[in-house]
Structure 1
Amino acid sequence: MKSMIDSIWHIKGAVPLLPGQDADDAFARLDPLFATRGTTHRRQGDTLTFDKKDQEAQDRLSIFDGGTLRVEEGAGGRALRYNMKSRALLYCFLAPLLFLAIAQVTVLIAQYEANSATAEDSEKKDKAEDEDLPQHFIDAALGAPVPEKPSADDAEEDKGPKPTAAYIFAGIFAALYIVGRILESWLVKSLFRRRLSGDPGDIRATGDAPGPRLSI
Structure 2
Amino acid sequence: MSNAIALPSARHGSAMNLRFIDWIWHIRGSVDLPPGQTSEEAFARLEPLLRQPGTSQQRGGEALRFTKIDPASQDKLAVFENGLLQVEQDSAGPVLRYHLVSRALLLCFLAPLLFLAFAQLTIAVGQWQKPAAEAAAKAKADKKKDAKKDDVRPMNPIDKALGAPAPEKDGKKPDRKGDKYSPTSAYVFASLFALLYVIGRILEARLVKARLCKSLLGAE
Distance 1:4 1:134 in 2: 73
SS at match of 1:4: coil
SS of the equivalent of 2:20 reads helix
Give distance in 2, aligned partners of 1:99 and 1:159: 18
Query: Matched residue of 1:95: which SS?
Result: helix
Q: Pick which of 114-123 and 99-108 moved more.
A: 114-123
Alignment length, in residue pairs? 193
For residues 59 and 20 of structure 1, the distance between their equivalents in structure 2, rounded to whole angstroms, comes to: 29
CA separation of 1:66 and 1:110: change in aligned 2, threshold 3 A:
same
Kindly indicate whether residue 16 of structure 2 is the aligned counterpart of residue 3 of structure 1.
no
Query: Could you give the per-residue CA deviations for residues 10-66 of structure 1, whole angstroms, max 9, x where no partner exists?
Result: 111100001121110100000111111100011101000000000000001001100
Change (3 A) 1:62 1:120: closer
The partner residue of 2:42 within 1, 7, 26 is: 26
- Is 2:78 the partner of 1:58? no
Q: Structure 1 length as normaliser, TM-score?
A: 0.78
Deviation at 1:143, TM superposition (A): 4.1
What percent of counterpart residues are identical? 45
> Match of 2:61?
45
* TM norm structure 2: 0.77
Q: Which residue of the partner structure matches residue 213 of structure 1?
A: none
For residue 11 of structure 2, what is the aligned residue in structure 1? none
Aligned to 1:164: 184
| Distance (whole Å) between structure 2 residues aligned to residue 65 and residue 194 of structure 1 | 21
Q: Which has the greater radius of gyration?
A: 2
Listed one character per residue, the Cα deviations across residues 100-132 of structure 1 (whole Å, up to 9, x for unaligned) are 111111111111111334856543334546767
- 1:129–1:11 Cα change, 3 Å: farther
1:142 & 1:71 partners in 2: Cα distance?
95
- 2:120 corresponds to which residue? 104
Indicate how the Cα distance of structure 1 residues 118 and 169 shifts in structure 2: closer, same or farther if over 3 A, else same. Answer: closer
Higher helix proportion (structure 1 or 2): 1
SS at match of 2:86: strand
Unaligned runs of 5+ in 2: 1-16
Secondary structure in 1 matching 2:31: strand
* CA–CA distance in structure 2, aligned partners of residues 76 and 15 of structure 1: 12
Contact 1:46 1:71 in 2 (8 A): yes
Residue 96 of structure 2 corresponds to residue 80 of structure 1: yes
CA deviation map 1:108-162 (0-9, x unaligned):
1111111334856543334546767989x9xx99946856975xxx87x844422
Consecutive unaligned residues of structure 1, counting only runs of 5 or more, are 209-216
